[in-house]
Structure formats: C-alpha cells, structure tokens
Amino acid sequence: MNDWHTRARALVACLAERGYLADPRWQAAFEAVPRHVFVPRFYLDDETLIDGDDPAQERKWLDAVYRDDALVTQLAAVPGTDLMWATSSSTMPSLMAYMLDLLDVQDGQRVLEIGTGTGYNAAILCHRLGDMNVASIDLHPDLVDSARGWLAQLGYWPCLAAGDGAEGMPDRAPFDRILATCAVPALPAAWISQLRTGGLVVTDLRGGISSSLAALRKIDVDTVEGHFLPAPGHFMWLRAQPGNPLRTGGDYGNVIDRDGAEQRMAALDPASLSNPDFRFLLQRHEPGLRSIWRTVRDGVELVCLTTDDGAWAEVETRPYAGQYTVTQGGPRRIWDRAERAADLWAELGRPARDRFGLTATPTGHNLWLDDDGRRLWIPPAEESERSV
C-alpha cells in the first residue's frame, strides 16, 4: 500500500495533462486524499466483487482505484425484477475535478454536498476548505456511517447527515455553494432557498433519456440562473427510498397498454433521437420521458419510447416513401410531441445543449437560448416540485 502516493500523483498528472485540475489547490487535495480508503471494495460490470482485503485481488483493486474510472460500491435489487442496479459509486475523478472547477469555490466559503456516497468527494472538499466549511447529506444511513468512519481516519470531521437530499440541510444553511453528485429532474426549491444570493449550485439535471450538467448562480432571493454545460453527468438519481434503486421507489414497470392505440405515418426519422443535443431539448420539452430503446418484432426494427404516465410510441426505422410508421397510445401522443420538439430544434438552428440556459424558481423552470431573452418553454409548476 506504500505506493498509493505514487499512484495518486500519476492520476493527478494525467488529469492535469487532459485539462482538469488547473488549480494547484485542487491538485494538492487530489494528491493528499487516498481514494483507496473510501473504496475498499467495488463491483465490476458483471457484479463481480473486487475486494482490497483479498491479497489475490489487491493489485487489481489498487490499479482500478487510481485510474480515472467510476467505481460501483453498492448494489440493490430492483423490485419486481431479478435485476441489480447500482445505488452508490465513487465518481470518476475527472468528472469530480470538472465539477469542482465549475464550483468556483473561494477560501472560507461553505459548501453543501448532496450525495455523500463513499465520502471521497467530501474529503477533497475538506482538504481544500477545512472540514468546518463542509456539509454533506445522503439518503442511505449506512453510507453516511461508513463515510464518517473513513473521513475520521484521515482527521476530517465535516457535518454529515442521513436524509432526503432534496430538502438540503436547513439547520446548516445558508451555503455559498451546493454541489450535487446525484441527478435530479428539476432543481429542488430547498436548494434555492438555502443558497446565499450570489452563490452557485452545480448539479446534473437529468431525465430518462438525457443528462446535462448545469452551473446556476443565485441572482435574487428565489431565483437561480445559468447555462447548461456541454458535458453530461449521468449520475445516479436522488432517490426516494434508501434500499430501492428506482427514482421514485415502488416497482419497475414498463408495461405498454395497447388499448386505443393509433397508427399513422410521420416524417420524423427515429434516428434523430440518437443526437444528444436533440435528446436534450426533447427531455426538457417532455420531462416525463422515461426511456428510448430499440427492438425487433416480426423482422421489423422499432424505436420505442415510454413516459412516466404510460404514454408510448413504437416507430419503424425503415421508411416508406420518406415516412415512418408510428404506433402510439396511452394518455397522450408522445410521438406527436417529439415531432413538435424536433420542429422547434430545427427552427432554432439545431443548437448544441450548451447554448441553452435555465432560470429556476421554486415554482417553475424557464428554458432560454443564447442570453437573448427568448423564453422557449415554461413547464407547469408541479414539474419543478420534488419528483425524484
């Protein structure tokens, strides 16, 4: 284990060379904080456990810990299925560095982290700011307990709490910065109220088909505003229940009710949905979009969409005279809405996601383009309330 310092320095050098960790203070933090303390074991993609306490696995474990990889540290069963989904991980160091740079933190400022996880990111913050300026919350009490122990081994004592991250930590507010290492579909009102005016929140605003990092500045007592970033976050959801990997709890369901289904021809090529910038706008236009996938039925390839409220569409990928066969049903016609979003995206010149910005208040989110004051879409207030 004596060579972890060498590995940590090599990781920092790699990140710096790739354009991360330009600030020497963050470089010092990443070199000083041993990541392996917070990741004593992790799971591979096939759910194989790699345990640092196993002498036969020690080198493989240590090599992985000091690579620029995200490492899954906790799994949970998906209710109603035989699937196991990740419920906690150690974030990819380059993504951590990118978000910490976006945070633009200054000495003496107070930071709230949403999503304690292993505690590694909290340790980096403690090294940079001092543990009295760091607070962190996670839904899972066991994760908080483990993180507290690992932080204490290194002499860090930030304020940790187990609870609903969407509620923030009102007893410790206000904060100069809020950093969310989990994904939310809309910015919780508590984060806005607990942020000082002039403060900054960095988070992953995500839906079922698109993830987008955003850095939002608090410009008055109940408003934050800022741009989306070109990079996605793909963080795990801020969840409703500790032991359930699903965002809202309950059972996993993707059942299509075909009663009342309608079929028509449409001009929108389903291949358009593979464009990440269009998916971004479609997700903001339709926050309830849950999933997009491909399947083959009776020799015909289909692109399928579902929403949280049970709307669905199946679109054949092979055109007929320039048109695509669409079958859709449920409470609304989701492919019709996708077509309207595509028309809007084309009208705007097919902009990349980082040309869009967001103004958020406790009662709604407002999407805009290019700082020119054009407001594109205002969802109903209930879509900005906690649905995570």
pLDDT digits (tens, 9 = 90+) for 61-115: 999 999 999 999 998 888 877 778 888 999 999 999 999 999 999 999 999 999 9
pLDDT mean across residues, the chain: 91
Q: How many CA atoms lie within 13 A of 205 on its CB side?
A: 30
> How far apart are the C-alpha atoms of 253 and 226, rounded to whole Å?
35
Say what the pLDDT of residue 79 is. 80
Residue 281 has pLDDT above 60, yes or no: yes
How much is the pLDDT for 252? 65
- Bridge partners for 323 per DSSP: 320
Strand partners, 83: none
Distances from the Cα of 35 to the Cα of 31, 63, 150, 341, angstroms: 9, 11, 10, 43
Position 386 confidence tier, pLDDT thresholds 50, 70, 90: very low
| 3-class secondary-structure state, position 20 | coil
CA torsion angle for 79, 191, 185, 76 (degrees, to 10)? Answer: -20
What is the average per-residue pLDDT within 117-146?
97
Strand, helix or coil for residue 174: coil
Dihedral of the alpha carbons of 298, 301, 306, 310, in degrees to the nearest 10:
-20
181/376: higher pLDDT: 181
pLDDT at 153 over 50: yes
CB–CB of 148/136 below 8 Å?
no
Tell me the C-alpha to C-alpha distance, in Å, between residue 10 and each of 4, 15, 58, 59, 326.
10, 9, 19, 16, 52
Q: What is the mean pLDDT of residues 253-265?
A: 82
Identity of the amino acid at 234? H
Residues 347, 285: contact at Cβ < 8 Å? Answer: no
- Predicted confidence band at 373 (pLDDT cuts at 50, 70, 90)? low
Beta bridge partner(s), residue 218: 224
Percent of the chain with pLDDT over 70: 93
Percent of the chain's residues with pLDDT above 90: 77
User: Does position 181 have pLDDT exceeding 70, yes or no?
Assistant: yes
349 SS3 class = coil
Helix (H, G, I), strand (E, B) or coil at 383: helix
pLDDT for 376: 62
Asked whether residue 41 carries a pLDDT value surpassing 80, the answer given is: yes
Q: What is residue 375's predicted lDDT score, i.e. its pLDDT?
A: 60
What is the reported pTM?
Answer: 0.91
pLDDT, tens only, 319-340: 999 999 999 999 999 999 999 9
DSSP helix/strand/coil, 12: helix
Per-residue pLDDT at 381: 34
Domains of the chain: 4-180 (3.40.50.150), 262-347 (3.30.160)
Query: Which residues are paired to 264 by β-bridges?
Result: 326
Strands 312-316 and 41-43: unpaired
Which residues have C-beta within 8 Å of that of residue 104, sequence separation ≥ 6? 177, 200
